[in-house]
Amino acid sequence: MTDDAKAESTAQPPNGGRPNVDDRELLVFLVRLPTPLPIAHGTIFSLQLPGDLGDKWNLIAGIAPAPGSAPLYGARMRAPFVSLKLWQYKRSSAVGDEMLPEIDAVLREILPVELQPRKEVAATLAGAFKVDHYSTIVEAVTQLPDSSNAVSEAFDRSLEAINRLVLAYSFVRRDPTVERVAREYIDPIVVYLRRPASSPPRSGPQVLMTGGVNMTYERPVVVAEQVQIIAHYLGLSARGHPLVSSAQFMLERSRAYLRGDYTSAVIWAAVTQEMVMNLYLRMLLVEEGNAAPDRQAHSTALGLKTRLNSQFAHRLGGRWNTNDETTAVGRWWRDCQRVRGRVVHAGYVPNRAEAKRASDTSTELDDYVGDLLAKARFRFPMTAYTRLGLPGLQRRGALSKRFGRVVQAVEPKLDQFWRAVRSNSSLEEE
């Protein structure tokens, strides 16, 4: 054997260069779904996801990731896989077991004694209408990656696989009632196991904190000051405040994100911010006394991008260039509007990080407009007051005594201003 051959021989790793299966670990997550997934108990699905886990998992093929499942397409195990096994657990309860005791307590407070339900009647109702409830536990098995946040990364991969299964079931059965899963929409604690790739677990369960809110817990009761703010919001809604609908859209964006519906979260983020930017422009035009050019400023030919680049800078100041990613509007266009275009026109499915960036850049752009309006409050007092209110002006140090007198002067004119803004909704034809 030559010296070169000897060097090549000694440089080879043990086991002929083949990775040792026992050095590879799998993670087993037990995830309780927020809504039952009605697929037979014990059913197993094996999914392979895009990616490459590197040489560590090379050539490990033919391993059944869970008892009873087949090898994944005979592929190399360096590609991420997730094996999903469904566990269904049934319990029976009466419809009134949880509902009627609370209702009965309220009835005893508001009804005279002679009209209060007898306890034996309430007990009979509470025990009626027995129904079966199912809870679905998903056993998700996947590779442990080499990363500083390995468990969390593997868990997110498992959630992606579960959502693929939920989508497949919902499409085949035309059943929209099964919810997608997301960290924020599941139990706050998920139990998981670590096990070698070729043998059973060698240690007990561990827990992963998910940050989920899928549980009933006591929330802090709003204080009197917050009750007044809620009542004030209801009053603004009744008066026809033009930005009330944007608050509803923002909540839809947040709800979609919490449910793990990242496609809807991106669309809601884009729709909401486009709507409020058009509203801001209409308010500025009306306050300038330029309601007539509103249709021209909002014309289809002009387009949203041109409106953003041409209609705000000379009125509010600041930097307005959708092609410049160092600006708030440029970052929003890149992370929200472009992703929304990919969703609508190409069927792209954004991930959690993309949905968060879409939401964050929308908030950043809206805050930027608020900051500019605070600076331009004397030129556009009604627009600034409509967007910021007294709290927003105060937070920005813009509620001086001088502007306080301006607010007192414009407050009686707000309803007429809001009606003018709503009546100049020429975008309805786009």
| Residue corresponding to tokens 């306050």 | 287
Helices (H), 240-302: 244-259, 262-288, 294-297
The Cα 11–Cα 191 span in angstroms is 42
Evaluate whether 177 touches 119 at the Cβ level (below 8 Å). Answer: no
Domain ranges within the chain, ordered by starting residue:
15-209, 226-429
| Residue corresponding to tokens 């196991």 | 193
Q: Which residues does residue 194 pair with via DSSP β-bridges, in sequence order? A: 27
Evaluate whether 332 touches 364 at the Cβ level (below 8 Å). Answer: yes
Quick one: tokens of 157? 């991969």
Beta pairing, strands 130-143 & 25-32: antiparallel
The Cα 182–Cα 185 span in angstroms is 5
> Can you state the percent helix, strand and coil of the chain, rounding each to 5?
55, 10, 35
Element (H, E) at 193: strand 189-196
Q: What's the farthest any 2 CA atoms get from each other in the chain? A: 107
The Cα 104–Cα 320 span in angstroms is 59
Cβ-in-10-Å burial (0-12, 13-18, 19+) of 323 comes to exposed
What is the 8-class DSSP label of residue 336? I
Positive or negative: CA dihedral 171, 175, 176, 179: negative
pLDDT tens, position by position, for the chain (430 residues)? 444 444 333 344 444 444 454 578 899 999 999 888 888 898 888 888 888 888 888 755 555 555 555 555 444 678 898 999 999 998 776 655 656 677 777 877 887 877 776 665 556 655 556 667 788 999 999 999 888 899 999 999 999 999 989 988 988 888 888 888 888 878 888 999 998 887 788 788 898 888 766 555 555 666 777 778 878 887 888 888 999 888 888 888 988 888 888 999 999 999 999 999 999 999 999 999 875 555 555 554 578 999 999 999 999 999 999 999 999 999 999 999 999 999 999 999 999 899 999 999 999 999 999 999 999 999 999 999 999 999 999 999 999 999 999 999 999 999 999 999 988 654 444 4
pTM of the model: 0.71
